[in-house]
Amino acid sequence: MDKNQKQAEITDLKAAWKEVAGAVLTGVAGLTVAESTGMRRKFHNAGVQYRVVKNTLARIASGASDLKVISDLFVGPTALAWHPTDPAAAAKVALEVKKELDKLQIKGGYLGGKALDAKGVEAASKLPTLPELRAQLLGTINAPAQRLLAQFNAPGQNVVGVIAAFKDKQEKAA
């Protein structure tokens, strides 16, 4: 790479890492081309950006973003997976791929302005997704109204039950 290509790469990385909700650094040493391609496909299908980076250029580019807290992890053959809005997406896919590829090394990660170690990345992968969080929030908001409606309907249901029991008793007697 000449100086202009390096500067272009730094500019691209800075632009890509402007907004990052969550990221995972992986070691890619020892992966075959087929394994690497399959892994890239999984990240892409999940909407996660995945890029093998030159460590020096990545350290420079990360200095201009929130990823500067993990700049010391850019050592050896390194790739970075990140998602701009879903903090757990990269971690979920990385751990899914790690189950299939023992050679894949998870160096660490980034979440909410903090650096994560490999165990932190594993914990981040267990976080619910944004749609799941929205569903939980809506369920929590709707629960009191549903309980109140059930209380209003209970006397009417009880009356219907008593009438049905009386009807059954009359039919048996007849």
Strand partners, 105: 27
Distance of CA 116 to the CA centre of its chain: 14
For the domain 3-127, what is the CATH superfamily, name and number?
Answer: Ribosomal protein L10, N-terminal RNA-binding domain (3.30.70.1730)
pLDDT tens column, 99-132: 988 888 999 999 888 898 989 998 888 888 778 8
pTM exceeding 0.85: no
Q: What residue segments make up the domains of the chain, in order of their start?
A: 3-127, 128-174
Contact 22, 124 (CB under 8 A): yes
For 35, the token pair is 């394994």
* pLDDT confidence of residue 91: 92
DSSP calls for the chain: --HHHHHHHHHHHHHHTSS-SEEEEEE-TT--HHHHHHHHHHHHHTT-EEEEE-HHHHHHHHTTSGGGGGGGG--SSEEEEEESS-TTHHHHHHHHHHHH-TT-EEEEEEETTEEE-HHHHHHHHTSPPHHHHHHHHHHHHHHHHHHHHHHHHHHHHHHHHHHHHHHHHHHHH-
pLDDT tens column, 2-55: 889 999 999 988 888 888 888 999 998 888 899 999 999 999 999 999 999 898
